[in-house]
Structure 1
């Protein structure tokens, strides 16, 4: 069983537990469920294109930074030009929580991507209830039919959809309603990083679709390489969580 399989097995149990504690109707009664969402499509064009991530740990890297608070980090991200923030809500493998989103929602005015492994309709109502604006669909753990159905559900809740792919086979998961296609530079099964693989895959995307380079962007040269290859957005977490200043990074890559 690879890492992704372990995560999905755990996620199924986690969702079942959540359903037993809180109904969809209760989620709809939450403070944020009726709020007007922010659009990543707009901010990705008007700002840096960086979706800056708050992530305490990962299966491949272990603890990245367990000291900083979500509010402290994402406030800096917004202040210095991030187009959006990504917040991990998986607890077991990434050290995230719903509270990380809830604690920052009223303090920033850019989109929040709920970063998790979405396998059940219930999770979309959760995402809406905690104040997310965008959700992630991972092709590696969903069928094309599920991606299509989940995309429609997300849009009915005014949530934008980022579809993550890593292989040529997963191109078939793309449908006309997807808002963004993210290409993960890191293979979720063995966590190896290959930027050129992502560029090759990007060249096969449908024309006109927003493309996001995800993960494995470790320095300014990586960013510039991917930007020159035509990516519209850049999902970055570990680089900033290890203490590199987003202020300096954005200043240097936009010179």
Structure 2
């Protein structure tokens, strides 16, 4: 798969759909088990069949039950670009990410001093990984702007609380106007319904990332189709 993560989202948007990135995670600190005995690789393949232009895979083990093995397995069995989500703090983490088949890497502003964020951003780019700079405040968006970030995320929940808080799309609505000009904006977390997804898009998000709501859906294929359905108001 040679398609860039960002290009896959843009292509999906141009095709008239809302680019929804499924976030594959085994456990939620807030909601518990999300797999219910299912194979996450099969889930990933089903979501690609439903139209997912890209995937996110959580590899953090302690709180989310993920692993590099899971990332590799999904990368081998699917044909779309993959974002690795974890608490990335070193260049070695970046190299492991690249070697595991991912195309993009999450860098969390609230967990990294600016000098290290800058170093990891630059090194990720050299390794051929697209850095997604995750923010939650205007100050962090200013950091993203200084970096020249082309992929910016707004997390609607607080990752420092392991996303156990009651986040809402209002975080995206409040902060979208401060995203660096020309950057692709992804609204992350807490989105549960089609109306919330559209609210994020109408606020200025180019794509959304949804994990728990998809994995808890009675029919994840149908749920994905519903939330990614485009509307003229969004484009």
Normalising by the smaller structure, the TM-score range is 0.7 to 0.9
Q: 1:170 aligns with which of 128, 140, 143?
A: 140
d(CA) in 1 for partners of 2:166 and 2:209? 17
Unaligned runs of 5+ in 2: 13-17
1:149 aligned residue: 119
Q: Report the alpha carbon displacement of residue 52 of structure 1 after superposing the two structures with TM.
A: 0.6
- The offset of 1:250, in angstroms, is 4.5
**Where does 1:79-228 land on structure 2 (aligned, <5 Å)?**
79-174=49-144, 175-190=146-161, 191-228=165-202
RMSD: 1.7
Distance 1:160 1:63, change over 3 A: same
TM-score by length of 2: 0.87
Pick which of 160-169 and 98-107 moved more: 98-107
| Superposition deviation, residue 197 in structure 1 | 2.4
Structure 1 residue ranges without an equivalent (≥5): 1-35
Q: Which moved more, 1:216-225 or 1:42-51?
A: 42-51
TM-score by length of 1: 0.81
Aligned to 1:39: 4
1:104 shift after superposition:
2.0
The 3-state SS of whatever aligns with 2:209 is strand
Compared CA separation, residues 58 and 251, structure 1 to 2 (3 A)? closer
CA contact (8 A) 1:143 1:173 kept: no
Spell out, residue by residue over 1:139-182, the C-alpha distance to the aligned partner (whole angstroms, 9 max, x if none). 01012222221111111110001011111221232134423110
Q: Which residue of structure 1 lines up, in the alignment, with residue 38 of structure 2?
A: 68
Cα distance, 1:66 vs structure 2: 4.3
Larger-Rg structure = 1
For residue 248 of structure 1, report the CA deviation from its aligned partner: 2.5
State the 4+ residue runs in structure 1 displaced beyond 6 angstroms: none
Partner of 1:248: 222
